[in-house]
Amino acid sequence: MPAPRPFQWLRPSDPDRKAPAAGQTVAAAVLAGLLTSWLLADGLGVNLLLCAVVVTVGAGIAARAAGRRPRGWTVLWSVLALALLAVPALSEAGWPVLMCTLWALGLASLALHGGRRWPGVLLALPGLLWQLVPGLRWALKGLRGRAAVGRDRVLPVVKAVLVAAVLLAVFGGLFASADAAMADILGSLVPSLDLGELPRHVALFGLGLAIALGFAHIAAGPRRWDRTVVPPGRARGRLEWALPLVALDLMFGAFAVVQAVVVLGGRDSILANTGMSRSEYARQGFWQLLVVTVLTLLVVAVAKRWAPRGTEGDRRLARLLLGTLCLLTLVVVASALGRMWFYVDASGLTTLRLWVLAVEIWLGVVFLLLIAAGLTRSAAWLPRAAVLSAALAAAVYGLMGPDAMIAEQNVARFERTGQLDLRNVRGLSLDAVPALDRLPGDYRTCALGIITFELAADGPKPWYAGSLADSRARRILAERPAVDHSSARETACDRAGLRSDDYFGG
């Protein structure tokens, strides 16, 4: 009897046989690599969108050659991925830009793979990762098959490109020497020939080429992750399964009663008994409640897998206990959000506080989806709805400008109360400049000092590498410069009340 193949569970998801890569697909991938090498070496900005358009064209050619046609969910995931790639063109905040870029890659992979069930959706998101090397092999195989046939077609194209390059170089040089504005435009379009940057350009070219071919490889024949066999968990007896959930529901119910008492006016007595200040009570409670929310999501997933399902009564009991737990978890989410907002009002908004607020809100949406799934006859829509909610949350978080929101909240609080913790705003990106520009004197110098130093060190960016936040910040600081000398910044921070051991950067 032959030994079973490793990863036997992958066999049902094997893709359909792919034809060799078309010449147009390879050409689009090479163009994507060249754009990545040229544009991304200077920064992000609109570069990602430009590269994404070329990658999309290459994947579309490969899909059309394989006889595939776009469907509704394919279009939805693709549009949302492009919306996420618009964030670097608007914002300079590092973490939101990185998160939105990764989500865009995941959604693009999901759009090409398709998927309805949990395996199909979750395994398709990182699907590009294991298509990078196969995509390169697929392209080489296609090129070898066309090498002899296409030689007569390739040589005229190469000659035409060389002639065009010579003509552009000659006439571009003449126009540049004749007009300073034309020289600036051509200078921003022509890539730098610094040999010291050559390894980075080569690495970026390889990355762009591999990603474009990986997406095209998926489009030509995606792995059908929905066919992955996931055996159901062994159903437990009613007592064995229900008793822990009943106990947990009672615990959550007790917490909900306590929160009702607090909301109705019992907070002062609770604080008196615990000896904590309002700020300490809010800060300490939030993190525990966030952990409770995440753990509850895991409990629901595990309990659903092993729930009794032999009879209609078993299924009704599962819906009742799990639905009650999800409803009571919404009370936990509301309590956590209330505590964090109370803490923000007392101490100001920070990057971490805004991030965990957004995560907690998204977790609340997930529990609402779980409740809706329990009330419907079929929950086949739940996997895609959960991923859609996460992707929309990432898009909203990135597009709303979190650093600008943090700066605005802290500056508005300063204008209202005269209190400002400069540690909350000194590490923000260029998005925060319009709000921080409203601060007076030493507060403004201290808050904008690091940004001014970094802008002076980076220098101006080409049109394709900058963002709206970058151009806006440069315009504001050009009109009202902030001191960019480290000693002057430290003196201003001292006068504004920031301790010397709190300095960071620049």
Residue 264 shares a structural domain with residue 211: no
User: 502: pLDDT confidence band, cut at 50, 70 and 90?
Assistant: very low
Residue 56 shares a structural domain with residue 195: yes
Residue 375 shares a structural domain with residue 473: no
The Cα–Cα gap between 480 and 423 comes to: 22
Q: Is the pLDDT of residue 60 over 60?
A: yes
Residue 395 shares a structural domain with residue 460: no
Task: Say if 1 falls within a structural domain.
Answer: no
Task: Return the amino acid letter for 335.
Answer: S
Residue 354 shares a structural domain with residue 286: yes
Q: Looking at residue 421, what is its pLDDT? A: 87
Per-residue pLDDT tens over the stretch 167-194:
777 777 777 777 776 676 666 666 555 5
Task: Say if 2 falls within a structural domain.
Answer: no
Tokens of 105: 């890659």
Q: Looking at residue 393, what is its pLDDT? A: 95
Where is mean pLDDT largest: 31-35, 146-150, 207-211, 482-486? Answer: 207-211
Instruction: Give me the number of domains the chain comprises.
Output: 3
Task: Say if 48 falls within a structural domain.
Answer: yes
In terms of phi and psi (left: phi > 0; alpha: psi -120 to 50; beta: otherwise), the region of 401 is: left
Per-residue pLDDT tens over the stretch 405-455:
999 999 999 999 888 888 889 889 999 999 999 999 889 988 888 888 888
Task: Say if 232 falls within a structural domain.
Answer: no
Per-residue pLDDT tens over the stretch 203-237:
999 999 999 999 999 999 998 888 887 777 777 88
Pick from 38, 55, 68: nearest CA to 205: 38
Residue 194 shares a structural domain with residue 289: no
Q: Looking at residue 500, what is its pLDDT? A: 43
Task: Say if 4 falls within a structural domain.
Answer: no
Where is mean pLDDT largest: 68-82, 146-160, 173-187? Answer: 68-82
Q: What is the mean pLDDT of the chain?
A: 83
Q: Looking at residue 2, what is its pLDDT? A: 46
Out of 197, 227, 257, pick the residue that ends a domain. Answer: 227
Q: Is the pLDDT of residue 160 over 80?
A: no
Of the ranges 89-93, 216-220, 244-248, 273-277, which one carries the lowest mean pLDDT score? 273-277
Higher pLDDT, 259 or 486: 259
Buried b (16+ CB within 10 A) or exposed e, 344-369: beebbbbbebbebbbebebbbbbbeb
Residue 222 shares a structural domain with residue 243: no
Residue 389 shares a structural domain with residue 424: no
Q: Looking at residue 407, what is its pLDDT? A: 95
For residue 224, what is the DSSP state?
-
Residue 252 shares a structural domain with residue 129: no
Out of 227, 258, 276, pick the residue that ends a domain. Answer: 227
Task: Say if 395 falls within a structural domain.
Answer: yes
Average pLDDT over residues 318-330: 93
Higher pLDDT, 29 or 272: 29
Q: Looking at residue 253, what is its pLDDT? A: 92
Out of 169, 201, 227, pick the residue that ends a domain. Answer: 227
Residue 191 shares a structural domain with residue 88: yes
Domain that holds residue 87: 13-227
Residue 197 shares a structural domain with residue 83: yes
Average pLDDT over residues 91-105: 92
Say how far residue 227 (Cα) sits from the centre of its chain. 28
Residue 377 shares a structural domain with residue 242: yes
Give the up-direction half-sphere exposure of residue 187: CA atoms within 13 A in the CB hemisphere.
10
Task: Say if 134 falls within a structural domain.
Answer: yes
Higher pLDDT, 174 or 97: 97
Higher pLDDT, 331 or 176: 331
Task: Say if 7 falls within a structural domain.
Answer: no
Contacts of residue 396, defined as CB under 8 A and 6 or more positions apart, other chains included, come to none
Of the ranges 168-182, 258-272, 393-407, which one carries the lowest mean pLDDT score? 258-272
